[in-house]
Chains A and B, each alone.
Chain A
Amino acid sequence: MLKSKNLVPRSRFLVANSVIIFVFTILLIRFFHIQVYGHNEYKKRADINRIRAIPTTAPRGMILDRNGQILVDNYPTYILTGLPNEMGNDNKNFSVISNCTAIDTAILIDNFDRYFRGRFIPSRITKDLTFDQLSCIEEHKHELTGINYIQFPERSFPSDVHMSHVLGYVKEIDRSLLSIMDDTEQYDAGDLIGWRGIEKQYENILRGEKGLTFLQVDAFGREVGTVKDINDIKPIPGQDIFTTIDLGLQKTLEKAMSDYRGVALVTDPATGQILAFVSSPDFPPDIFTGNTTLREWREIVNDPTKPLLNRITNGLYPPGSTFKMITAIALLEGLMIEQDEEFECAGIYQFGDRVFKCWKVSGHGKVNLDQAITQSCNIFFYQAVQRVSLNRFIKLCRNFGFGSKTGIDLPNELAGLLPTRDYMNRRYTSRGWSRGHLLNLALGQGDLLATPIQLAVYINKIATRGHTFIPHFLLSKVPETTISISLNEQTWVNIQEYLFHAVNDKHGTGSAADPKINGLNVYGKTGTAQNPHGDDHAWFVGYAKDGNQMASTIILVENGGGGGRIAAPLARIAFDYIFNNKIENRLAVK
């Protein structure tokens, strides 16, 4: 094992020693050359010519609508920075700046401390300098030490739509934010980061990469020029994002919804593209750019109508009668009902010890499935849904996307609530609920809660016979398929026919949704959802089809009353705009 003798000739030992001594001598000479012989020259360079690397901000990409009209742009502002090491300890700098900008010294110092990251890193003092303020500072430059101004691109919103929930906003990173962020490598204090909406979702596309400018500065912090031998690193601007939004349609619907609290959502079932996205009330998108006063801000936060809530992805509502198609599909798929089978609606229905009512007090008389959807008869569904098992019903809801996030490209979407058997047992214990729960579900009431975007996926699945895509805003995105659902072809045909009747039949509840355009077929279902907190919510879900072109619309008016009366006419505005404005040429054809 260890038997081999270590027989090394003395010559080799000496060679090894010489090599080591030789290398270390070379190193010592090199250090001596730099530190002692070259000391004066290097000292001069260190003292007088300090190289300062100044990060240059990359402009964020713009956000555009589907036709290239600008939704979010940048405009250049000037920000004032101070280099702590060169500023000295007295507050003379601040008082000079205060005189020029008319901003209180205390605020300036406060800002300065907030962005402070070290003695040798410029910290921000104020921003949005006007030309007058800049010239004043330039005049007083000799009184200032370590003070600099740089250009900084800020977000601006040239279009007159709000879309605040979609666009989101950017936030300036300050010290407190920096300490809780995971990704501190990429960001510095004072940078902008997408904080909500598309700005957050597509931060990586929009952001770009920062550059570096190398400047020679003298001992007083004055620039003496650029550094030779070292090239500046140019910032790489962020990429622009084309969204699927149609600016004109968005504007029309924002205007139509301005008197209501609620939602107007238009998508293309064939691609999943979102054409308009209105969550009302909303707020001007520029309130986060720093010109908002604290009072205005408090008003928005404390507003009882909750303008900050994105009702489409985060509003939870009972879907009401718009949910009736689930029962219809369950019955048709299970061959549990004949096309012409009729149920009696007397306006009132007794189930166990509970009494369920139809919205039409006098009752619909004898109705079949088609008429029940067309006229939105409740009693029909109370009776018919009893043929379906709860598990089967829940499974169908799941396949239509209820109870899970749709995967829309906005952050923080909610999943809604699908009251499964397990959920009910947990909430009410196994004895605390009964089959009446299923009757509630059939009408889209009870514990069930859905977001409008989930209803959009649901109606898009019906419109495309199960072949729709996840709703999205990024125009260049390859659409992702939703949960697959396979039904008999005849079931799809029937359901679409019922929805067509609900708009076009003379008894149809949704007739107000039809803009009456030649060749355009409108399908839809109204809903009037009871809600424990006030008046009923008005719903309309539906789609319109002209040849290959399709668009689906979800309308919700909170506490609006009847869906046919309030929501359907709003849907008409959307269909009217789309199919009268030749948007069809721009809709992708599948």
Chain B
Amino acid sequence: MFKDLYNQTSDMPISIIFMAIMLTCLGLIVLSSISTNQFDVIAITTFTKQLLFLIPALVGFLTILFIPKYMIHKYIYTTYSLMLMLILIPFLSETIAGTHRWINIGLPMSVQPSEFAKWIVVVALARYLSDHNLQMKRFTTILFPIFIALVPAIIVLQQPDLGTAIILLTPILPMLYWVGAKPFHLFILVAPVLSIATAFHTISFTVWAIIMGSTLYLTRPRLIFGVVFYFGNIFLGLLSPFLWNSLRPYQQKRILTLFNPELDPLGAAYQTIQSKVAIGSGGFFGKGLGEGTQTHLKFLPVQESDFIVSVIGEELGFITIAVMLIIFAIFILKIVKLAFLAKERFPGLILIGIGTIFMAHVFVNTAMSTGMIPVKGLPLPFISAGGSFLLSCFIMIGLIMKMGDESIE
């Protein structure tokens, strides 16, 4: 049995787990620095908690390694339905921290089922898209995958958790692209979203209309389709300000706060400023572990998860940030390469989907901490504190090891 396992693992991309361990260690180092000044009666700090969370993460990782590929393929739709039920459970109980995000399991910690939705959606999408009868050249076949991701995304959005909802939707485009969907079809998918988004700004709407027109001109679809698509989108764009105005003020405010938390009086602007000051004051080499005044002033309410990059930037400097980003880049490039080398479509698609999830997390988290995009609560893989997310990350590592077969090289 152990020999079998060895034969299996010897073909696996060991460098992936190696990079994951490096990033986890960086996370633990930073969390131990944050924890030094933590005031708690019993010795449970963020750091010790994260150490404990490594146990379920490791178990999850090993479990995935032992499940055969065909089993994953066979039971993923069942798992998907189960997951839908799980993310609905928190709505039955009272809110925790104002959202329906967590399930209370009777332990001092709660479980956040939507974390697991991320990779379950990816595997479900992969199974659907790897059906060999699929006609990728037809536009209608790409509508069903959207449905697969949209259902959990809408539920998660009600919790409310915009960050996770966005993460659930991001794998769709790269995965469709990977199985050979026409770029024009993908363009059709994205177009209505952009039409609505640009509608509130005259110049951007004009630019968008020109881009849309020239794309249609270059791709030359059937005349009737082109006309309907173009004017449909323009009409949608023109209509949306009116739809917006028909909403009640409190509904408008709720939507605005969702997309731009700076309108929230609790002061997301304050968080961004503090995060930038912390990162910037760290300089090239950082102030040293445990020496970050900005960090220990507790300006950032979620410095152990959403704003952990600010702590790294302040205490360990640009040099560490750069190394970290490069590891993440190599990590994701490696995943994409494994996806390219995969012999079958199903594992290849899973790899692309997981790669997208990691990519989206890293980008949203770091871009938010540096003030490039509005504040969205998304943790940094392997580094941020949080048990559900760490477990989910290591399950994804398990999937990568399972699906990424290097033997061909």
Give A contacts to B, CB under 8 Å.
Answer: 1-9, 12-13, 16-17, 20-21, 23-24, 27-28, 30-32, 34-36, 38-39, 41-43, 45-47, 50-51, 53, 117-121, 179, 212, 214, 229-231, 233
Contact = CB atoms under 8 A, between A and B. Distances in A.
28 contacts: A4-B131, A4-B345, A6-B345, A12-B177, A12-B180, A16-B174, A24-B325, A27-B367, A30-B366, A30-B367, A31-B318, A35-B284, A35-B313, A35-B317, A36-B318, A39-B280, A43-B280, A45-B277, A51-B273, A51-B299, A53-B270, A120-B298, A179-B41, A212-B267, A214-B270, A229-B269, A230-B267, A231-B265
A30 B70 CA distance: 43
B77 interface: no
A452 B174 CA distance: 74
Contacts of B269: 229-230
Contact of B344 (A6, A31, A231): A6
Given A7-B345, A230-B270, 5 more contacts: A8-B340, A27-B366, A42-B280, A46-B293, A233-B267
B344 A5 contact: yes
A118 B298 contact: yes
Interface string B271-293: 00110111111111000000001
A24 B342 CA distance: 25
A45 B73 CA distance: 55
Interface in B303-357: 313, 317-318, 321-322, 325-326, 328-329, 332-333, 336-337, 339-340, 342-348, 352
A21 B333 CA distance: 8
B117 interface: no
Interface string B172-198: 001001101000000000000000000
A163 to B, nearest CB: 35
Given A17-B333, A35-B318, A4 B346 contact: yes
B219 interface: no
Nearest to B129: A4
Given A8-B340, A21-B329, A35-B321, A45 B346 contact: no
A222 to B, nearest CB: 17
A35 B280 contact: yes
Contacts of A214: 270
A383 B273 CA distance: 85
Interface residues of B, number: 66
B385 interface: no
A123 B367 CA distance: 36
B363 A27 contact: yes
Nearest to B363: A23
B329 A24 contact: yes
Given A27-B363, A230-B267, A4 B130 contact: yes
B228 interface: no
Contacts of B39: 117-118
A387 B265 CA distance: 71
Contacts of B280: 34-35, 38-39, 41-43, 45-46
Contacts of B333: 17, 20-21
A124 B73 CA distance: 62
Contact of B299 (A2, A34, A41, A53): A53
Contacts of A38: 280
Contacts of A121: 298
A483 B41 CA distance: 45
Contacts of A21: 329, 333
A31 B298 CA distance: 22
A2 B363 contact: no
Contacts of B177: 12, 16
Interface in B21-48: 37, 39, 41
B294 A31 contact: no
B359 interface: yes
Given A6-B345, A50-B297, A1 B283 contact: no
B372 interface: yes
A21 B284 CA distance: 22
B185 to A, nearest CB: 14
Given A2-B346, A27-B363, A13 B340 contact: yes
A2 to B, nearest CB: 5
B296 interface: yes
A191 to B, nearest CB: 16
Contacts of A229: 269, 273
B132 interface: yes
Nearest to B366: A27
Contacts of A41: 280
Given A20-B336, A31-B318, A46 B370 contact: no
A120 B296 contact: yes
Contact of A20 (B265, B279, B359): B359
A212 B294 CA distance: 18
Nearest to B332: A20
B397 to A, nearest CB: 18
B178 A12 contact: yes
A121 B273 CA distance: 20
Contacts of A2: 69-70, 73, 130, 344, 346-347
A51 B274 contact: yes
Nearest to B349: A6
A13 B336 contact: yes
B1 interface: no
B268 to A, nearest CB: 11
A16 B177 CA distance: 10
A51 B41 CA distance: 29
A330 to B, nearest CB: 45
A30 B273 CA distance: 15
Contacts of B131: 4
A473 B270 CA distance: 43
A31 B370 contact: yes
A27 B326 CA distance: 10
B276 A34 contact: yes
A34 B283 CA distance: 8
Contact of B359 (A23, A34, A35, A233): A23
A230 B273 contact: yes
B105 interface: no
A8 B277 contact: no
A312 to B, nearest CB: 34
Contacts of B265: 231, 233
B281 A43 contact: yes
Closest A-B pairs by Cβ, 10 of them: A42-B280, A46-B281, A4-B345, A35-B318, A6-B348, A4-B132, A24-B329, A39-B283, A13-B340, A6-B345
B345 A47 contact: no
Nearest to A38: B280
Nearest to A234: B265
Nearest to A120: B297
B271 to A, nearest CB: 10
A28 B325 CA distance: 7
Contacts of A35: 279-280, 282-284, 313, 317-318, 321
B276 A42 contact: yes
A227 to B, nearest CB: 8
B243 interface: no
A512 B132 CA distance: 99
B37 A119 contact: yes
Contact of B329 (A8, A20, A119): A20
Contacts of B270: 51, 53, 214, 230
Contact of B278 (A28, A36, A46): A46
A31 B321 contact: yes
A253 B279 CA distance: 67
Among B39, B131, B367, chain A packs the most CB atoms within 10 A around the CB of B39
